Each structure stands twice: as C-alpha cells, then as structure tokens.
Amino acid sequence: MDNTPEPRSPRRITPSTSIKKSKPVKRKAPDEEVDEFKPKKRQSMANRGPEKRYVESSSEDEAPRGKKKAPSPMEIEDDSDEDDMDDFIDDDEEDDRGKKSKVKSKPPAKTKKVVMTKKETKLTPVKKAAAKVAAKKEEDEVQEPEEKPKPKYNWAAAKARAEAGPKAPGSKEIPEGVPDCLAGLTFVFTGELTSLGRDEAIELAKRYSGRVTGAPSSKTSYVIVGENAGKSKMDAIQKKNIPTLTEDEFLDLIRTRHGAELDEKQLKAQEKEQKKIEEAAMAMAAKEREEEKLRKRKEAAKAIPISSQLWTTKYAPQTAKDLCGNKAPIGRLLDWLKDWDKNFKSGFKKPGKEGLGIFRAVLISGPPGIGKTTSAHLMAKEAGYNPIELNASDARSKKLIEHHTNIDNASLDGFFQGAGAKTTVMDMRLDSKTCLIMDEVDGMSAGDRGGVGALNALIKKTRIPMILICNDKSLQKMKPLINTTYGMPFKRPGPNEVRSRIMSILYKEKLKIPTNVVDQLVQGANSDIRQVLNMLSTFKLGKSEMSFDEGKALLKVNEKNTIMTPFTIIDKLTGPYAFSHTNRETLNEKAELYFHDFSFVPLFMQEHYLKTLPARASKEDGPLKDLKHLDLVSKAADSISDGDLIDRMIHGSEQHWSLLPIHAFASTVTPASLIYGSINKPGYGGGFGPAFPQWLGQNSKQGKLSRQLTDIQIRMRLRVSGSRQEIREQYMPLLAGHIVSPLMDRGSDALDEVIEYMDEYYLSKEDWDAFVELGVDSMREEFVLKKIPSAVKSAFTRQYNKTDHPIAFHKGDLFAASKKKIADIGPAPDNEDVFEEDEPVPDEEEEKGDEEEDIDVTKDRLIKAVKPKVVKGKGKK
DNA sequence: CGACCTCGAGCTCC
DNA sequence: CTCGAGGTCG
C-alpha cells in the first residue's frame, strides 16, 4: 500500500449505477445499492468508537512496512479510496471554512497539490450534513494531529460525492454528448484512468456508439492512456503512430464532437446493414402471415396464435440463415450429413477432406443457448433427413436407450443392422432417412451408468446418422465418445452476429432500440439469444423504445441468473483493476464474493495468489519490481496464514462462526488487495485464470477412498465386524492375500477361487477395484495392476459379470436400498457408527430399481435368511 | 471469386 | 498462442 498514487483531481463521477441518462436525479432519491449501502455502513462505523481508533493508527503505519498487524478490514481499504476521500474531505472542509470558518485546518498529512475549482459548489442539505459530520469528527480527533483522515469519513464523503457528485460544476463530470457522437471511432483504453473505471470508460464510449477493442492496431482511432500504461501497448502505439488521448481529452471529445462524422464507407456499410435488417424483418413478417393463415385454416383451437407466442419460439431460427455464428461447424455438419450415405456405403473408410468421413456420429458441444439443438435439426432437415430428437435426460429416452437400442436387444438393433427396414420406436417411425439427435448426452449417464457405453456401442453400428449434443465434452464420462464421434465444438456467437438478427426482430416488432443498446444487451446476456429475446419481450410489454440506461437496468435485473463459481469470484477479486482506485466495488461487496462460497474461495485464493503479476508492483522496474512483488506476496501469505488461524477457530472445537467476516478479509480480501493484477502470468507456470486447488483434488480423492472403504465395510459386515479402521488395517491385508495375490501369482487360474472368496464376503468387482486402490506397499495400485496381466483382468471382469453373486447391493445406485437390507439383517452390535449416517430408509419404489433381475436372486436369499422386521441398529444375531 | 493477410478475441477450470 | 472473420487484391 505504500505505492500511494499521486494526489489527483477528485473524481466527480457517480458510481456507475447512478449514471442517469438525463439530468442527474434529485438527491432525495438516493440511487440503488451503492448509496444505500454506504450510509448504513457509515453509521455502523461511527458507532464503533474504540476499535476505530486502532484501525486508524494501524492504517497509518502502512508505509513502514513489515509491521505485523492483525488483519483488519479497514487496513485493506484501498489507498486510492483513502486518497479520494481525503480530497473530498478537503472539499467539504474548504466549503465549510468558507462558509462557517468552523473547521480547523487539516493536518498536512498529505500534500494536496491539486486544488479544486469547485469551491463554489453549492452545498446541498445532504452534503452539508455530511460535511458537518465530517467536521465534527475532525474536531474530535484534533488532539491527534498526526493522524490521517479516518476511514469513517469515507462514508460521509462517499455519500456526499455519490449524491452531489454529478451536480458539482467545474469538476470532472461525465459530459453529455450528442448521441452517437463517437460513432465510427475505435478506442483502446490502457492503463489506469484517473477518475473513470475501466468498465465505466468502456461503457461511456459504447454509450455514444464508439467501438472499444483490446489491443491497439491501425484501425484504432484513439488510445486513451492512463497511469501505468502497459509497455507493450505503448510501444505498439508509438510504432503505429496512433493518436493518444488523456482521460480529460477523451471526455472533451465526447463533449465537443458532434454527431456522426462518418465517412462514406461507413455510411454505406450502415445502410447496407439496415437494409439487410429490413429485408430479414420482411421475410419474417411474411412467414408469420403464412403460418397464421395455415393455423386459421386448420382451425386448430389449441394452437396458440403466433402473436402471443413466446418470442423465443416465435423467432426460433427457421432456416440456416437464421442461425447466428458457428458457421464453420454448421457447414461441416451439413457436409457430413450429406455425405453420410456415401460414407456408409464405403464403410466409413474415407476420411474426406475434413476428415469427418470416417465417423458415424458427431458430437456437438458448447454452452447452452447457442443453438446447438436447432442447428442439428435444421441441418438434418436440410440434408434431407427426418430428425428424431431424443432427450437423454428425459426418462422415456433413457428407457429407449436401455431397452431398445441396447445392442443385445433386437428391436431397434434390427433396424440399425438390417438394410432399409422400418421400425417404430416409441411411436416414432424410423426409416433410412431418419437422423437421430440425442440431446444432453452428458446428462444421460447420471442415473444409469453404462448409458454412454451403450450409446457408444450403438454408434459403432448405427445405420443412420447420429448427432449427439452435450454441454461439456471434457467430462470424464464423455470420454468413450471422443474416439467414435467427430467433435464439433460450438462457440458463442459474436456480438456482431447476434446483433443483426436481434435488430431484424426488433424492427419487425416495431421496437426502437439503438444498436449500442442491443450490443450491450447481447454482451450482458453472454450472447444467449434466447435470453436477450426474453428480456426484450418482457420489456416490450411496457414500452416501445429503450435507452442505454434502460438497457443497463434490464441487464441488471437479469444478471442475477449468472452463477458465480469460485473461478469467477477469484477473477473478480484479483482482476487487473480489482482494487484500483477506479474500482467502484466496496470492500463489503468484495467480502460478499467470499460469502458466495466461503469454503472454497479461500482455497482458490491460496492457490492463486502466487500466480498474478501484482498491479501494486507494476510501477517499479527490474529488481525493485521483484522485490516489491516478493513483499506483496509475503504479506498476502501472512494474511492467508492468519486466515487459517481464524479458520481453526471457526471450524475447530470452538465454532466461532461470528468470525466469518474476519476470515473473509484475512483469507480472501486482503490477499486479493495485495496481489491483484494481471492474471496471465507468463513464466510462472503460465496457465489461465485460477487453477483448481490441488488440495481439493486430493481431498475429493480422499473422500472417494473413504466412501469406498465404507462400502467395503458395509458389505463385509455380513461376515465380519469391525470399524472402518479395523477393516482397513486388519481385514484388508488378509483379504488381499485371497482376492488379489492369487490373480497376481497365478493369473486366470485363480479366477474362480477369487470370485468365490469375494462372494463369501459379499464383495463386488467394484469393491475389488476400490480394494486395490486402497492398497499400500506391495499391494499398492500401480504395482498390483502392473502385475496382473490385462488378459487376466478382463477375464476377471467378464467372469465376474457372467455369474450371479449373492450380494443384494452391488450397484452403487442401489446402495441406499442395500443399507436397508443390512438393517433388516441386523448389523454387528458394535458398529453402529456406520448406520448413523444412514439416510432415511428408502421407500419401496427406490428399492426395486431398474435392476430387478439382479435383485431378485439375492433378494430372496437375503430376505429369506432373516426376519425382516428387525429395527435398525438394534438387531442382534 | 478465391487466396492471402491482418485484426481481434478467446482460451481454462467446476 | 491460435483460430476465425473480414477485408483486399489479383
């Protein structure tokens, strides 16, 4: 925190939430959260007398570094904010001095070089009140003249600023330019601006239809250079000779530039686009009329009139032209479908030019809402196929996969093998021109493992093209599909692609929404057209126009839908400008991020804090920079370590949950405030974004092992007694000699013996796997698996699956049911601990799952063997 | 109309 | 860094 920035002119810009389109609102209506929040906070600060003092003094000795202090929220108060506050307090003081001569002069803790010209600012009642509070406090603290202004002033000043800010004349105010005055210009922002946040600046440029890109290039009209501008960018700027602006000049540009000074080319392009939009809208209207007619003719009472349909269905893409983005993969998909017959005849031997001739199925993957399913349908139709959609997550299709497309089952399979045969599956007719579209493949195998396996087997012999759709193909369970299908990753369509479509729809709906607003919406909705349409259609109910700010408000309402993962949280907390003085988020808001998931976020922070290029060190150069970096990291480590201690108190025996906020700051916010900065850090293992905490990986593995051990124990408890530990330490080595070693030593000869032994103890093949995984020393996993020839392994699996086993609950899914059975039998009396974790006894339905055949044998056996009514845990044998 | 070049953005984790 | 899109030139 010692790299305090130069004193600078105060910011007169409201928090972004309160930028109003027209005149600033009267202050009687304090704007939104920020404002609501701050005053509240101030009060709470003011109420705390003594603590505050400590905080103040400690925040003062930041400069002499190395002093260990208990982490405290206030400490990590942004230095910049402090500065700002200073400035503001100064303002207030000066005002007050001028008017009442009441306030004593401030200790010269900080040199103010910049004297503002806004003393004439009329004090509004609120501001006066705020100033009064400030003044009073000042009087109180006067005895300690060496003290810096108190953090508590921040709130007063912040409030005053938030409310009075936009009105203050002569200060850096957000200028109001002519609409579209930046049209046709391309901006690049670099470095930290003095009063505008990066986002605000970008937003401002976009508000006036400017274009903002990340890297300067020959297309860039202006580069707005702030403090600490990146060196590479500056070099590029110099090399390409791009005009640069300061922030003030940028604001002036907005003020002075009139209208769109577009050159001919741009105008032409605009015209062209407009024409395209209108054409598309016409086409849409025509289509709608047609459909409306059709509907009327049919007189289908049930059909909903198109005009009242949801926009998302109403404007669902009808032709390939309507699809946004992903042009290349969609084209490939079409080619593949068209060539399918040919490839089928040649036995999928010829790769073709794109190499997709050898696949019988494609796997489309990509985030939701970008038209994967629609593309698949449209392309199938276009290629002359009759698409059948199976949604893997709905039970019907699941059954279908299980029962009809199972390779051992003849019904569908007959079709897939016989040429040209016709079959009906679930009331759907299949013929040679059918194309199977499996949606949400990744949601499939959740309930029935082997779903993907069965699907894969189906793919290998299908006689019709199959299009599989999933959201995430990197999942483990999707692995079998990767080699058998052609992967087609779909990406989010770019804003440009979405815009034209949205614009046409809007044109047709007679909604007047400027391009930049649409862009904003698209961006805010992450290019999810459906979401944008939904937002717009609800908006349409009230109005027919939308301003930039209305769009923003609309986005804000909808943005809650986006989920925060620890990754995004860490991104937010340690992003390049996360704690820069232009950042508008309060510390409390940052702490809120921690509370999103307070068991994970600290872990991610701990994983991440060494991987940034701290912005606080970026001022220095050479060795000094490294030193500063080290210093910051060391401080962050200290804080994280403090956080760990606090964590002990929270999660340890004392359960001091009230310490959670402190933990938030110590473990997360403070480190973030120190090391925030560029994430992409070459040379340090590189990588992108926060890594998944290694500890978590190990932890989840441990969790898995421990669950497996519990499994084994529960199964064996029919024969043996003992806690998990006992089983692990005493039975398992013994058992290993009987169920693992024979396979290692004698190979497949020992199979029968081993399986018999496992049956004796009700151990399944899965238990065997777990058993091996749990092994140590001479029984450790790699060693064992290496020693057993793979032929033996597969023979083992085959043989095990071939025979019936006297275990009622050898499937993981049936585990819940199995526990009940054990309870029925009555466990060994000294092992009640296992049953403590029992879920409520599952009801009958769950018990008879899909695997009835499996159960039947064993069920009889077990249930006959014992009296069923013994109460859980109490039964003695 | 096609090939080449240049610009720009997204990439990764659950 | 790599891919795709878009523009320009032959």
Q: Quick one: tokens of A554?
A: 């609309």
* Residue A218 contacts strand B, CB under 7 A: yes
Confidence bin at A797 (pLDDT 50/70/90):
confident
Q: What is the pLDDT of residue A451?
A: 62
Q: Answer yes or no: are the C-beta atoms of A439 and A391 closer than 8 Å.
A: yes
Is the pLDDT reported for residue A79 higher than 50? no
* Average pLDDT along chain A: 66
Is the pLDDT reported for residue A22 higher than 60? no
Mean pLDDT of A443-454: 58
Q: Looking at the DSSP assignment, which residues form a beta bridge with residue A438?
A: A390, A468
Domains of chain A, start order = 155-264 (3.40.50.10190), 327-407+431-489 (3.40.50.300), 507-559 (no CATH), 566-692 (1.20.272.10), 697-807 (no CATH)
Considering only CA atoms, name the residue closest to the C1' of nucleotide B12: A688
Sign for the pseudo-dihedral over CA of A739, A740, A741, A743:
positive
- Cα of A602 vs its chain's centroid, Å: 17
| Chain A 469..528 CB hits on strand B (< 7 A) | 474, 491-492, 494
| Chain A 149..208 CB hits on strand B (< 7 A) | 186
Higher model confidence: residue A338 or residue A76?
A: A338
Q: Answer yes or no: are the C-beta atoms of A393 and A471 closer than 8 Å.
A: no
Q: Is A551 helix (H, G, I), strand (E, B) or coil?
A: helix
Is the pLDDT reported for residue A62 higher than 60? no
Q: What is the pLDDT of residue A831?
A: 38
- Computed on alpha carbons and rounded to an integer, the radius of gyration of chain A in Å comes to 34
Confidence bin at A308 (pLDDT 50/70/90):
low
Q: Residue A213 CA to nucleotide B1 C1', Å?
A: 31
Q: Residue A145 CA to nucleotide C10 C1', Å?
A: 77
* Residue A331 contacts strand C, CB under 7 A: no
On the CB side of A752, CA atoms within 13 Å amount to 1
Q: Residue A314 CA to nucleotide B9 C1', Å?
A: 32
d(CA A768, CA A784): 12
pLDDT tens readout for residues A250-264:
888 888 777 655 556
Q: Answer yes or no: are the C-beta atoms of A12 and A168 closer than 8 Å.
A: yes
Of A510, A500, A596, A580, the C-alpha closest to A545 is: A510
Strands A466-470 and A361-365 come out as parallel
Confidence bin at A862 (pLDDT 50/70/90):
very low
pLDDT tens readout for residues A603-613:
888 888 887 87
Nucleotides of strand C under 7 angstroms from a protein beta carbon: 4-7
CB atoms under 10 Å from CB of A246, counted, come to 13
Nearby residues of A733 by Cβ (< 8 Å), 6 or more positions away: A779
Q: Residue A571 CA to nucleotide B11 C1', Å?
A: 15
d(CA A560, CA A360): 41
Is the pLDDT reported for residue A642 higher than 90? yes
